[in-house]
Every structure is written in C-alpha cells, then in structure tokens.
Amino acid sequence: STAGKVIKCKAAVAWEPNKPLVIEEIEVAPPEANEVRIKIVATGLCHSDLYHLYEGMHKDGFPTILGHEAAGIVESIGPGVTEFQPGDKVIPIFLSQCKECCFCKSPKTNQCIVAWKRVIMESLVGAESRITCKGKKIFQFVGTSTFSEYTVIDQIAVAKIDPAAPLDKVCLIGCGICTGYGAAVNTAKVDSGSTCAVFGLGAVGLAAVMGCKAAGAKRIIAVDINPEKADKAKVLGATNYVNPKDHNKPIHEVLAEMTNGGVDFSVECVGRVDVMRSALESCLPAWGVCVIVGWTQVSEVAIQPTDLIAGRTLKGSLFGGFKSKDGVPQMVKAYMDKKLQVDEFITHNMTLDQINDAIELMKLGKCIRTVMNV
C-alpha cells in the first residue's frame, strides 16, 4: 500500500505564465489532518485554467498544477477523516462546503467562508500544497490540482459520488456542468415559459442552455461569435442561435427586436466585460435578470445605473449556486438517472501527456470539452 508514503507520480506543471505545461515527476505527500489523497482518473480542461495561465496575471501563483474539473478514487485518508474510505469515487471541488460557517449554514448562498480564505480571496491562486517538484513547492490551483496522477485535498472540498458513475464523464460535473446549469436554475431562477439568452457557448454556456431548458424556458437564444457552436447549442435545447458578427447593430438591440423588448433572463458565460454589459442590456426592463458567470479580474464592467433603476437585476454566480458537497452527488445522480446530459459536452478524449494539445484546441475554439485520462 502507498498509504502514509510520499507518492512519486506524473503531473503537468505550469512553471510560469504563458508557457506550455511540462510533464514532470512530482512528489505528493500523504494527506494531513482532514485531508484525502486522491488518484485522479479523468480531468477536463476548463477556460479558468487558461485564464490563470494566460490572463490572470498572478505571477506569484507559479509554479502551479492547474486543473479543477475531475473525478478520481480515494487512495488514502488523513487523521480525522471519517466521511471517506480508500476506494471511494469522488469529485474534487474548488468551492468548499465546510457546513459550519455562517455562509454554509444559510440557505441563501453556496459560498463558504473557508473557500474565501483558501482560494478566492487569493484570486484563485491556491491553497496550502502537499506537492513538490524538483525540490520546489508547487501551488495547488484552487486547492485541487487535477492535472496530476495524485493530489491531496481538504475533505470539505471533496464530494463522494455514486460508485457506479463513469469517471471519464462525470468529471465535467466538477465545474462546467454545475456552473452553467446552476446559474440558470439556481441563480437566475429561470421560470417556465420564459425567454432566455445565453452568451458564450463553451461548456459553461451550453450547460446554462440545458439549465434554461430544464427550468421550462420557452425560448432560449444562444449567442456566440463562433458559428461552430450553434449545432451543439440546439442539441442542448437552444431554440435560436445568434451570431453578433452577423449584425451591424449592437446585440442587445437584435435581441430586443426578437423578443418584444428584451429577454427575461440572460446568462454571461464568456468572461468579457463588454459581453456582460450586453447581457444586462439585453434584459427586459422591469424584471429582466442578468447573471454573470464568466470570470475576469483584469477589467471592470461599466453599466448605466438607469438600466438597473428600470428594474433589471444583475447577479453573479459561482459554481452555479450549488452548495458543492450537496450538489455534486445530486447532479451525478441526475446524470445516472438520464435526467442530465453530460456525454454531449465531450468532443475530445486525450491522455494527460497531450495537455498542451488540449489547451491549443480550447484556445482555437475547436472543442467543447477535452477529457483527459490521467
């Protein structure tokens, strides 16, 4: 058994921003109190990994191991862990649920104070790390680091899932699927018969489309500047596709004409401040709700106060508003019960060695999700 011992294994290390990842041998220490060591089986690549690598400007956040959308098997547990056993199938989560803080105890939020301290306040840099490479401490990006054969994670950021779940599919529930689906269902609270617009048709936006449909939306307008995304959006429930580049007036005016003045709900799944403003302006005055999902910290969004005074609501959503440890197993169950589509999001399968190819595909907009066998 490897329990209690340092594990030497393979991982994709990001030594510095804007450089390809390097497959290295790393050392993963045994889990300490309340931690679990996980053998990662499959991991997706999400736009947030790229954001950290190329845009986040957290020069202090390197070297790091990226990756936060994964599934694996518990290898060993640290002192004080009673919820997990070696062999359990799990999904790591970047947003913890300690179940003890005032946020966790409130039904009003899925935020967790521990998560704010560990990860988010440090601008998604990372938590305390159990990983070293060539004698250097490696940051654990958002506390997970799933581009690695093994990782160590605090038990408040690990969800136990159905042992029958296929890990090379449900890994996507660890980020993109919950983030988009929940933004529509939990945060926007899309209601039946409504008209929705989803901006950005990556995995997050497509999951938002799926969430709008599940909530009973009558019209779902999918917006993306890449027309190759239109077909998949329709598979997941979009009723219309609009390419802003096909029009010579602002996209919110196009949507207003299509909908008698604006949509009931809009969800921004791009991470660009100009699109955020468009998403807000696309909402109907009086009751339109705009939810921001796309992540950026490098620029600010300008809005016209009267857009809000007129009755629109602007909200943000992290991990789709799901309390993470509770929500992830439920979403896995929904998939197993065939009430949630996941396979449709996987356009490429690779191995971890091919991570830089997966990054290239995402940069070029040629994939929805690449799942890598680790």
Concatenate the DSSP letters of all residues of 131-184 into one string: EEETTEE-EEGGGT--SBSEEEEEGGGEEE--TTS-HHHHGGGGTHHHHHHHII
Least Cβ distance, residue 200 to ligand APR (angstroms): 3
Q: Provide the token pair at 293.
A: 């999902």
Concatenate the DSSP letters of all residues of 210-235 into one string: HHHHHTT-SEEEEE-S-GGGHHHHHH
Report how far residue 320's alpha carbon sits from residue 68's, in angstroms, rounded to the nearest whole number: 15
Any catalytic annotation for residue 175?
yes
Q: Provide the token pair at 220.
A: 């779902």
Contact characters 336-365, ligand APR, x per CB under 6 A: --------------------------x--x
- Of 77, 127, 167, 203, the one binding ligand APR (CB under 6 A) is 203
Q: Which residues pair with 197 in a beta bridge?
A: 221, 266
- Of 244, 250, 285, 329, the one binding ligand APR (CB under 6 A) is 244
DSSP-assigned letter for residue 345: G
With CB under 5 to 8 Å by kind, the binding choice for 349 among ligand APR, Zn ion, none is: none
Question: Does residue 272 touch ligand APR according to CB under 6 A?
Answer: yes
Least Cβ distance, residue 253 to ligand APR (angstroms): 15
- Answer for the pair 27, 133: CB distance below 8 angstroms, yes or no: yes
Distance of CA 237 to the CA centre of its chain: 20
Any catalytic annotation for residue 68?
yes
- Which whole-number Å values give the CA distances from 160 to 38, 81, 87, 105, 270, in the listed order? 12, 13, 11, 20, 30
Active-site entry in 104, 175, 269, 283: 175
Question: Does residue 270 touch ligand APR according to CB under 6 A?
Answer: yes
- Of 31, 40, 51, 208, the one binding ligand APR (CB under 6 A) is 51
With CB under 5 to 8 Å by kind, the binding choice for 131 among ligand APR, Zn ion, none is: none
| Residues contributing to the site for Zn ion (CB under 5 A) | 98, 101, 104, 112
Stretch that binds ligand APR, among 57-65, 152-160, 161-169, 290-298 (CB under 6 A): 290-298
Distance of CA 143 to the CA centre of its chain: 14
Any catalytic annotation for residue 52?
yes
With CB under 5 to 8 Å by kind, the binding choice for 270 among Zn ion, ligand APR, none is: ligand APR
Which residue's CB comes closest to Zn ion?
A: 112
- Of 67, 271, 288, 321, the one binding ligand APR (CB under 6 A) is 271
Nearest CA-CA partner of 10 in 30, 24, 29, 27: 24
Question: Does residue 78 touch ligand APR according to CB under 6 A?
Answer: no
DSSP-assigned letter for residue 29: P
Per DSSP bridges, beta strands 240-242 and 219-223 are parallel
Question: Does residue 324 touch ligand APR according to CB under 6 A?
Answer: no
C-beta closer to Zn ion: residue 158 or 256: 158
Q: Provide the token pair at 152.
A: 């160590």
Question: Does residue 321 touch ligand APR according to CB under 6 A?
Answer: no
Any catalytic annotation for residue 247?
no
Question: Does residue 229 touch ligand APR according to CB under 6 A?
Answer: yes
Q: Provide the token pair at 144.
A: 């997970």
C-beta closer to Zn ion: residue 112 or 223: 112
Residues identified as active-site: 46, 48, 52, 68, 175
Summarize as ranges the residues that interact with ligand APR (CB under 6 A): 46-48, 51, 176, 179, 199-205, 223-226, 229, 244, 269-272, 275, 293-295, 362, 365
